[in-house]
Structure 1
Amino acid sequence: MTKKQQGGSPMTKSDAARIQSQSDRTGHNQDFARRAQSTADRRAQAEHPAPQPPKKHAQR
């Protein structure tokens, strides 16, 4: 399996939540649900990175 998705739509947080909910109800595919959530989290972070605090300059 490659890191780049081959076709289809990218995994969104909504998709992952829906998969996780179904997995919780049925007790099946727990590993897939975890991977889906992780993928959606990484995609969301890549699309909207958290703001970084300003760097402090060394005083002389």
Structure 2
Amino acid sequence: MKQKFTLAAFIVVTMSTAACKKENEVPPRQSGYILDYTIPAPTFLTNDERAILDAKRAEWDKL
């Protein structure tokens, strides 16, 4: 039993250390990031869209 545990631990350690080819596989960070995000302006619902939503709400309220 102890031999199986030791073998399993050895395999896990070997696989975890052998998984990476190089120490630094991540691309370098760029110095400038775009931090300003443009949020689109909200649009108002039309009367037809409101009617559809009201019908769906009424359907859910029945449950």
Q: TM-score, normalised by structure 1?
A: 0.31
Q: TM-score, normalised by structure 2?
A: 0.30
Greater Rg over alpha carbons, structure:
2
